[in-house]
Amino acid sequence: MKKLKKRLYKILLAFVVFLFANFLPIEIMFEVSEEMQDTIRLCIYLVAYMIAGGDVVKTAAQNIVNGQIFDENFLMTIATVGAFLVSEYPEAVAVMLFYQVGELFQSYAVNKSRASIAELMDIRPDYANLKDQDEIRQVSPEEVPVGAMILIKPGERIPLDGIVKSGESSLDVSALTGESLLREVAPEDSVISGSINKEGVLEVQVTKEFGDSTVSRILDLVENATDKKAETENFVTRFAKYYTPIVCILAVLIAIVPPLLIGMLTGTVEQGSDGTTVTFLAGVLGSEKSLWGEWIYRALSFLVISCPCALVISVPLSFFGGLGGASAKGILVKGSNYLEALGNCKTVVFDKTGTLTKGVFQVQDIEIFSGTREALLTYAAIGEGYSGHPIGNSVKDYYYSEMKTNSNALEKLLKDATITEEAGYGTITAYADKKIVVGNAKLMEKANIKYKTCEITGTHVYVAVDGICLGCLVIADALKETTKEAIVTLKKLGIEKTVLLTGDRTDIAKQIGESLGIDEIYAELLPADKVTQLEVLLTQKKKDMKVAYVGDGINDAPVLARADIGIAMGALGSDAAIEAADIVLMDDNPAGIGTAIRIARKTVQIVKQNIVFAIGIKVLVLILAALGFANMWAAVFADVGVAVLAILNALRALKI
Amino acid sequence: MKKVFKVQELDCANCAAKMERNAGKVAGVQSVSINFMTQKITLEAEDDRFDAIVDEVEQVMKKVDKEVRIVR
């Protein structure tokens, strides 16, 4: 920033000197010949020029010594020195000044935006309060070993992943997930580095070294994201490589060829009978007396426009802004290329369990055939009393919450129970003098119990006591609260096809898929079948249209890798997901997919705008300059002015 | 060995690209990437001469912009 200030002062000084040169009444101050007056004026212009552009000329000279020609310093030097030689003194100085102002503004804008994006991504903790035998020391997070105790005061950032040993608080995880809801923590809960402690003092036992902690992994990912370049960025690099030499060659041609040709043709043109044509031609071609000067001036304007800076800076900056804006929403994109691909995504493929659904079995419904609801739930809970299976657990959880009781009460009941497990079917329990049968339809048939088939989709657990079926509990994986809205959003965004791939049973997949309005449903797939099915989808798509796969990162790594864009959800704490995916949604919310697509599209759109705008203006000014309708001022605008505007446009990518 | 350094006074995207090209030609450098956005250089080079190579890379970068500095 100090450097910028110095440059600003230089520009102001040069501007003052430039005004002097322009408006100083030399003819009144000095009684010298007119020729002498011009020389004095030229000298003052030269002083202004050296103040404004001395560095540029010097760098240009140095670069030539170092074997680097064709950089913008060199081109500006040639252009302005050339202007001096064709006696356009004010123009030469003003153009250099204008160029420097533009450059200054450009550096300022880039630095500012870089800093503000970097700030968005900055979740790095500065220190850790290490508890060391009742003494608390502030150390850098890197020094804290696994197993150490650290203290986190209200307002501080949690430096390392760990488990709360004492204290209760709520944590702000918005820097990681974009989720503004506070997360409550109590002893034995795990906490994630990067979140901010809002209320009480927490004592945390460290479980991971800083290098392996969530915050380092995220930072690593975000900081390396700009290394993976989007196709558009590579296009710009290639374009820049050819653009400058081509414009320079054109400049040389313009300086030499037309004057020679005109020199040869002048006679014929003047003899033409149509007076207006002659005047027009004279305007376009330059008046005869300064023919060479005029064309050299036009060529010099070309040189000013020949720097591809606007593109070279604004395109990566737009992507960087998009990556920054996404990470502020808890969406980590591993590279500009993935952001670009997501912008062209037309098919979204979902995994079911853990992605659209919570991945937790819950009792969704009960159907009572006889007896009370209370009896049904109690017998079911006794039957599943010692079960560790997810279905058994869900039955017990439902019993606790519906009956407002806890495991202690159930254990008392279980003292009188003798449970026999029928693997794959359920359990048969002798309870007091009753015989309880809890299990699936097959078990009911096996035990010769009459039952009604339950019509509700899900996994069925029938409960029978002494040969009479009391009812049925329907257990299913519940949809996440935001799933439905997320799919609607995707449709609104113009996603042409949504697909569900799942290992679950066909009727369950159908029921969930249809209720969400998903277009294609493929069920009962093994992990390998998912890859095959995805490949079919990849061949069906139109060229340039991308297929995204959204999974939770558990056992679908091959599919995540195979898709054009692999999106992993709920990555907070899951290392595997961060490894396998191209885009990582930090929280469990499927609504993030829509947000990510919106950010990607906006970024791609801004990049396109900048490319069209920058190249368009440059080509337009090049043509106008060649025809003599644009002066060097316009050329400088086409160079730095366009760059500054493109940078400002790029900043929009940050705001979603 | 692969290390990441902060770079100071790197204030032009085009220069960063140029520096990266030239730094890649320094003997002993296995891979180098200069990131203008994060103002960082990632350098992978031979272990035994690593520090010397960093110095050399810095010199090469200074040829493009003499103000630029690698923070060690």
Per-residue pLDDT of A146-183, as tens digits, reads: 999 999 988 888 999 999 998 889 888 877 777 777 88
Residue B44 has pLDDT above 80, yes or no: yes
| Residues A499 and A523: beta-carbon distance below 8 Å | no
Amino acid identity at A30: F
pLDDT at A273: 47
Contact B37 A317 (CB under 8 A): yes
Residue A158 DSSP label: P
Residue A597 has pLDDT above 50, yes or no: yes
Number of other CB atoms surrounding residue A409 within 10 Å: 15
Residues of B in contact with A237 (CB under 8 A): 17
pLDDT at A276: 52
Residue A423 has pLDDT above 80, yes or no: no
| Residues A79 and A53: beta-carbon distance below 8 Å | no
Alpha helices in A384-440 (DSSP H): 390-403, 407-414
Percent of chain A with pLDDT over 90: 12
Confidence of residue A121 (pLDDT cuts 50, 70, 90): low
- A411, with CB counted inside 10 A (0-12, 13-18, 19+), is exposed
For chain B, report the end-to-end CA distance as a whole number of angstroms: 15
List the Cα angle B19/B21/B23 in 5-degree steps: 65
pLDDT at A266: 64
Contact A316 B14 (CB under 8 A): no
Q: How far is A65 from chain B (nearest CA, A)?
A: 10
Residue A602 has pLDDT above 90, yes or no: yes
Contact B18 A66 (CB under 8 A): no
pLDDT at A27: 67
B47 has a chain A CB within 8 A of its CB: no
At A392-410, the pLDDT tens digits run 888 888 888 888 887 787 8
pLDDT at A595: 92
B14 has a chain A CB within 8 A of its CB: yes
Q: How far is B47 from chain A (nearest CA, A)?
A: 21
At A614-635, the pLDDT tens digits run 999 989 998 998 888 888 878 8
| Residues A47 and A126: beta-carbon distance below 8 Å | no
Q: Which of A4-13, A111-120, A169-178 has the lowest mean pLDDT?
A: A111-120
Which pair of structure tokens corresponds to residue A95?
Answer: 């153009």
Confidence of residue B53 (pLDDT cuts 50, 70, 90): very high
pTM score, whole prediction: 0.76
Select the more confidently predicted residue: A275 or A321: A321
Residue A429 has pLDDT above 90, yes or no: no
Confidence of residue A192 (pLDDT cuts 50, 70, 90): confident
Select the more confidently predicted residue: A550 or A99: A550
B46 has a chain A CB within 8 A of its CB: no
Residues of A in contact with B66 (CB under 8 A): 62
Confidence of residue A264 (pLDDT cuts 50, 70, 90): confident
DSSP class per residue in A288-331: GGGHHHHHHHHHHHHHHHT--HHHHHHHHHHHHHHHHHHHHTTE
Q: How far is B4 from chain A (nearest CA, A)?
A: 11
pLDDT at A500: 92
Q: Which of A109-118, A168-177, B32-41 has the lowest mean pLDDT?
A: A109-118
Residue A76 has pLDDT above 90, yes or no: no
* Cα dihedral: A312, A12, A5, B39 (round 10): 10
A227 has a chain B CB within 8 A of its CB: yes
Looking at mean pLDDT, say which of A212-221, A326-335, A485-494, A584-593 comes out highest.
A485-494
Confidence of residue A605 (pLDDT cuts 50, 70, 90): very high
Query: Searching chain A, which residue's CA lies closest to the CA of residue B42?
Result: A224
- Average pLDDT value for residue range B55-69: 87
Select the more confidently predicted residue: A232 or A35: A232
Query: Searching chain A, which residue's CA lies closest to the CA of residue B19?
Result: A68
A3 has a chain B CB within 8 A of its CB: yes
Which pair of structure tokens corresponds to residue A364?
Answer: 């969704």
Q: What are phi and psi of A572, to 5 degrees?
A: -60, 105
Residue B9 has pLDDT above 70, yes or no: yes
pLDDT at A499: 93
Residue A288 has pLDDT above 80, yes or no: no
Residue A351 among the catalytic residues: yes
pLDDT at A519: 92
| Residues B44 and B20: beta-carbon distance below 8 Å | no
Percent of chain A with pLDDT over 70: 91
Residue A281 has pLDDT above 60, yes or no: no
Contact A316 B11 (CB under 8 A): no
- Here the ipTM equals 0.70
- Average pLDDT value for residue range A541-554: 83
Contact A223 B35 (CB under 8 A): yes
Buried b (16+ CB within 10 A) or exposed e, A502-521: bbbeeebbbbbbeebebeeb
pLDDT at A120: 66
Beta bridge partners of A190: A163
pLDDT at A571: 65
pLDDT at A609: 93
B37 has a chain A CB within 8 A of its CB: yes
pLDDT at A272: 46
At A500-528, the pLDDT tens digits run 998 878 888 888 888 899 999 998 888 78
Select the more confidently predicted residue: A110 or A167: A167
B31 has a chain A CB within 8 A of its CB: no
Percent of chain B with pLDDT over 90: 14
- What residues contact A325, with CB distance under 8 A and at least 6 apart? A120, A599, A603, A653, A654, A655, A656
pLDDT at A329: 84
A to B CB pairs, distance under 8 Å: 49
Cross-chain CB nearest to A309 (options B14, B36, B38): B14
Confidence of residue A301 (pLDDT cuts 50, 70, 90): confident
pLDDT at A565: 93
Cross-chain CB nearest to A3 (options B9, B40, B64): B9
Mean pLDDT of chain A: 82
Picking from A77, A47, A82, the residue whose alpha carbon sits closest to that of residue A63 is A77
**Total residues belonging to chain A:** 656
Q: Tell me, rounded to whole angstroms, the distance of Cα A544 from its chain centroid.
A: 20
B8 has a chain A CB within 8 A of its CB: no
- Average pLDDT value for residue range A588-607: 91
Confidence of residue A271 (pLDDT cuts 50, 70, 90): very low
- Average pLDDT value for residue range A247-276: 72
- Average pLDDT value for residue range A337-347: 91
Q: Which of A100-114, A197-211, A232-246, A537-551 has the lowest mean pLDDT?
A: A100-114
Q: How far is B3 from chain A (nearest CA, A)?
A: 13
For residues A82 and A256, give the distance between their C-alpha atoms in angstroms, rounded to a whole number. Answer: 14
- Average pLDDT value for residue range A36-52: 84
Taking each helix axis from N to C end, the angle separating A483-492 and A591-627, rounded to the nearest 10 degrees, works out to 20
Cross-chain CB nearest to B13 (options A62, A66, A316): A316
Residue A210 DSSP label: G
Q: How far is B2 from chain A (nearest CA, A)?
A: 14
Q: Which of A161, A351, A477, A588 is catalytic?
A: A351
For residues A297 and A89, give the distance between their C-alpha atoms in angstroms, rounded to a whole number. Answer: 12
- Average pLDDT value for residue range A311-334: 84
Picking from A226, A488, A494, the residue whose alpha carbon sits closest to that of residue A339 is A226
| Residues A427 and A334: beta-carbon distance below 8 Å | no
| Residues A593 and A325: beta-carbon distance below 8 Å | no
Chosen from B37, B39, B44, B60 to mutate, greatest number of chain A CBs within 10 A = B37
